[in-house]
Structure 1
Amino acid sequence: MHPESLSQAGPPKASRSYHDPLHGAITLHASDPDEALLTQLIDTPAFQRLRRIRQLGPASLTFHGAESSRFTHSLGVMAIARRAFDQIQRRYPELAPYRATVLVAALLHDIGHGPFSHTAEEVFGLQHEHWTRRMIRELPEIHDALEARAEGLAAAVDQVYTHEHPVALVWQLVSSQLDCDRLDYLLRDSYFTGASYGQLDLDRILMALRFEPQSGRLVVAHKGLSAIEHYLVVRHFMYVQVYNHPKNISVTWLLERAFERARADLLVGKLEADPTVTAWLLTPDRPLSLDTYLAGDDIVFTYHLQRWRHSPDPLLADLCRRYLDRDLLKTLEITRLSADQQNDFLHAVRTHLEQQGYSGENYSGLRRTWSRGYTTYNEGICLHSDNAFTDIKDISPLVQALSQSYERTWLLYPREIHPWLRQTWATYNSGVVSEAE
């Protein structure tokens, strides 16, 4: 077919459906101006790029089913936001003018993610929220589409991401302690990782959402207390068992070391890379253009890891091989040791690695994970009970317990020294116990 004939294929379809494993058919109707806009945004190259970025980054090396994309998640967040907003709007019709803002902000909230999702932020020191806002401001196919729907819509969406929208509910539905983003990723990540912790009661939560006209805030009816408690428990276990899984820590460590080594080789002229990856490796010293940022995705970067696997630099080649072949570093939790003891043990491990011909700095290290628990971040979760509005933590002993933060520390090391480390750890551990006694 001649390319020009595509534009003559007839009028656009009356609706479009995305069949989602969690939410069923997500249907957008061309007769609804807001949903027609969403369809237009989904078809932009910047949004289609999200198909090439995994939702959980390299976590598929830990949970083999974790292959879903940021594209899939973004549609899910929009679908939940539409359900939540439309349900609230039926009770409070004065909210109708904000529907487009909520749905667009929900759909585009992750459009700025880089390769390997959050892992890119750790590796390259970039924040996806910054790039999301830039895309909405600077990409004509997005900015102009928003302004064509309603003048000032692009600025209103930006206010959602900065939490400056004058109606708090509008941004709280997208970014808060109880938002549509978290509701979708807990359900979705649980489903695709095979973890059973994420089975929250979405219907009950959405039915309990309310609008408080005096403050403009999102609140929860008291009848939803148990469902919200369950949601917070789910979030706690998903962070412990999935997001902060020690193998995920190990994968991120390998990618960081690989890209650091690649950057060092690039600076001395010993690395082959295309212009996109070259520019990414030179950040933050040389800021990325928006076009170059958009050119980065999981496929481009994984292709380079495949190339560097055969690098003449043996360290870079081995780091890439370990990632690609899932020959990951092992982890040992050493949380109960003092900071000085942790560093002493790491020094002993690195000394042994150097004696075995390894780079101690690249093949061992300490990584910490934090669970900050429930906080009143972004105004917390407000419960409406007995004609009063109270933070859920002040009513629920369970949420009070979940508000406690804690930290875990992991030692990373190659499996090749596991027998030595296990014996050394047993000796070191018994010595620490003796000192404590």
Structure 2
Amino acid sequence: MFKKLDEIKVLRDPIHGYIHVEYDVIWKCINSREFQRLRRIKQLGASYMVYHTAEHSRFAHSLGVYEIVRRMIVENNDIGSTISEKDAIAVMLAGLLHDIGHGPFSHAFESICQTHHEEFTERIILEDTEVHRIIEKTQAGLSKSVASIINHTHKNGLLTQMISGQLDADRMDYLLRDAYFTGTKYGEFDLERVLRTIRVRDGIMVVKETGIHTIEDYIMARYHMYWQVYYHPTARSYEIILSKLFERLRDCEKENSKVLKEVTMFNAFIRNKDISVNDHYLMDETTCFYGFSLLLESKDEILKDLSYRLLTRNLFKYVDITNDKMKETKKNQLIKKGYDIRYYFHVDKVEQRPYQPYKGDDLSAIWIVMNNGSIKELSEASDIVHSLVHGENKNEEKMFYPVG
């Protein structure tokens, strides 16, 4: 038996109404230093440069994922009766902690520093951290179970499916939460209906055929949120300047390291080696903005300019690329104006398919249990999703550069 709190804790939430915490280990992990750090990491990175209310944090999202997982277990008899209390605790912790390894500025920081939040999430759960000590004090070996759910190695695939599939608690929370805080409607779908129509068959999560229209809405919500919010070119412009700033920091570290003495907080990430969990803990968006402010006084004009652009939203212009000649023409224009195109020109291509079917018994797919008892993969059961899967991929290629 796992220790429960004297009374259920509730946290008000605009998406779920309340977040309910019953178990002592969950409450202690929420109050750990590593989890509290997520208050200082924005959920949507640079999207607040477009949608000014998109200031919500990884902390809020992680609580939301936990709440959906908890509801799956408590309210859905197929799931609740299938897993043990230990597995229930482990998967709720996995939902709560799945993003604990995130760096600042969402996924942009990962490409900049060649780090992966999944790797740091696993390290924080397994290495000597406050979160690790809390989990292990609750039950020896529990931290390994939590990590195995997140890294897809747990023997019970249902648990991983709840956290990281194409119909999982993570996606369901961030679509609703991001739509709410961006003031858009694209990400809305009927969460209550999804939770009611989930079933378990042969150890995997499936959806009743009667719920298929709700799943189609969910897939379309993902599609529209990617193009209207996640891939918005203004946010991409901000992230490109961010990446160019760190590229310049790396070059300065090799060519003229004196200019970096005032921003030593970036050292481990510029060198991309021996990054400790404590280095990671200290690297949040507050730290980054302090570093950018210091660089306003840098003797390196490129660092000074790029920092100013980030702090004042003086972003690069973007234009759709229709032919290769456009790129060469723009590069030559920038060079004539005195810009170093290593830092002041970038081509960015994005493409997205809202649903990717998988073959065989891959648990990442969405499975539909038909009225006759047979099980079909979503794109085989839905004409709408079939057309999305077999249609042409939507993609964009833009070039980004300064004006003036």
Equivalent of 1:226, from 213, 233, 249?
A: 213
- Residue number among 314, 320, 333 corresponding to 2:301 in the alignment: 314
TM alignment of 1:151-230, pairs within 5 A: 151-212=140-201, 214=202, 216-230=203-217
Deviation at 1:390, TM superposition (A): 0.6
SS in 2 for 1:205: helix
* Aligned: 1:382 with 2:375: no
Select 1:353's aligned residue among 311, 321, 334.
Answer: 334
Q: Offset of 1:156 from its aligned partner?
A: 1.5
Q: Distance in 1 between matches of 2:139 and 2:41?
A: 30
Query: Within the alignment, does 1:49 sit opposite 2:37 as a pair?
Result: yes
Q: Deviations over 1:20-39 (max 9, x none)?
A: 1111121323xxxxx21110
Deviation at 1:360, TM superposition (A): 2.5
1:22 pairs with 2:22 = no
Match of 1:110 in 2: 99
| Residue 225 (structure 2) aligned to one of 215, 227, 238 | 238
Partner of 1:311, secondary structure, is coil
Matched, 1:59 2:39: no
Distance across 2 between alignment mates of 1:111 and 1:104 = 11
Contact 1:222 1:384 in 2 (8 A): yes
Q: Distance in 2 between matches of 1:250 and 1:42?
A: 34
8 A contact 2:357–2:378 mirrored in 1:
no
* 1:425 corresponds to: none
- Kindly tell me: are residues 274 and 322 of structure 1, through their superposed partners in 2, closer, same or farther at Cα, counting changes over 3 Å? closer
- SS in structure 2 at match of 1:411: strand
Higher CA-based Rg: 1
**Aligned-residue offset at 1:91:** 6.5
Counterpart in the other structure of 1:430: none
Indicate the SS of the match to 2:177.
Answer: helix
The 2-side partners of 1:329 and 1:195 are apart by 24
Secondary structure of 1:105's aligned partner: helix
Distance in 2 between the 1:364 and 1:291 partners?
Answer: 34
Q: Does 1:144 align with 2:133?
A: yes
Q: Which whole-Å CA distance do the structure 2 matches of 1:67 and 1:117 have between them?
A: 12
Tell me which of 376, 393, 397 is aligned to 2:383.
397
User: Bigger CA drift: 46-55 or 79-88?
Assistant: 79-88
Distance 1:47 1:188, change over 3 A: same
Cα distance between partner residues in 1 of 2:57 and 2:293: 21
Cα deviation, residue 13, structure 1: 6.2
User: Structure 2 vs 1, CA of residues 90 and 390 (structure 1 numbering), >3 Å: closer, same or farther?
Assistant: closer
Please give the alpha-carbon distance, in whole angstroms, between the structure 2 residues aligned to 1:274 and 1:411. Answer: 30
Name the structure, 1 or 2, with higher relative contact order (CA <8 Å, separation 6+): 2
* Distance in structure 1 (CA, Å) of the matches to 2:6 and 2:381: 50
**Post-superposition offset of 1:96:** 3.1
Tell me, in whole angstroms, the C-alpha distance in 1 between the residues paired with 2:189 and 2:375.
24
Indicate which of 281, 284, 290 corresponds to 1:294. 281
- Is the 1:351–1:360 contact (alpha carbons within 8 Å) kept by the matching residues of 2? no
Q: SS of the residue aligned with 2:84?
A: helix
Return the alpha-carbon distance in structure 1 between the equivalents of residues 18 and 212 of structure 2. 29
Aligned partners of 1:232 and 1:402 also within 8 Å: no
Question: Residues 258 and 319 of structure 1 are in contact (CA less than 8 Å); yes or no, is this contact kept in structure 2?
Answer: yes
Partner of 1:82: 70
For the residue of structure 2 that corresponds to 1:412, the secondary structure is: strand
1:346, 1:364 within 8 Å by CA — same for their partners in 2? no
1:140, distance to aligned residue in structure 2 (A):
4.2
Check the 8 A contact 1:53/1:297 in 2, yes or no: yes
Deviation of 1:415 (Å): 2.7
Asked if 1 retains the 8 angstrom alpha-carbon contact of 2:73 and 2:80, the reply is no
Name the CA distance, whole Å, in 1 between partners of 2:84 and 2:342: 56
Aligned to 2:352: 371
Pairwise mapping of residues 117-136 of structure 1 onto structure 2 (< 5 A)?
117-136=106-125
User: Helix, strand or coil: the match of 2:200?
Assistant: strand
Cα gap change, 1:45/1:379 in structure 2, threshold over 3 Å: closer, same or farther? closer
Superposed displacement of residue 162, structure 1: 2.1
Gaps (5+ residues) in structure 1? Answer: 1-11, 30-34, 417-437
Q: What's the offset of the Cα at 1:274?
A: 4.4
Alpha-carbon distance between aligned partners in 2 of 1:383 and 1:37, rounded to the nearest angstrom: 35
The RMSD of aligned alpha carbons is 1.6
- Structure 1 residue 414: deviation in Å? 1.7
2:365 partner amino acid: G
Give the deviation of 1:402 after TM superposition: 2.2
2 CA distance for matches of 1:37 and 1:92? 19
TM-score computed with the length of structure 2 as normaliser: 0.92
Aligned to 2:163, what secondary structure does the other structure show? Answer: coil
Cα distance, 1:140–1:263 mapped onto 2, change above 3 Å: closer
Identify the residue that residue 426 of structure 1 maps to in structure 2.
Answer: none
State how far apart, in whole Å, the 2-side matches of 1:79 and 1:166 are: 23
Report the CA distance between 1:227 and its aligned residue. 0.4
AA in 2 matched with 1:356 = K
Q: Over residues 404-432 of structure 1, what are the superposed CA-to-partner deviations in whole Å (9 max), with x where a residue is unaligned? A: 4332101112232xxxxxxxxxxxxxxxx
Distance between the aligned counterparts of 2:381 and 2:19, measured in 1?
36
Check the 8 A contact 1:322/1:328 in 2, yes or no. yes
The amino acid across from 1:69 in the alignment is S
Q: Do the aligned residues in 2 keep the contact of 1:167 with 1:217 (CA within 8 Å)?
A: no
Q: Which residue pairs with 1:407 in the alignment?
A: 395
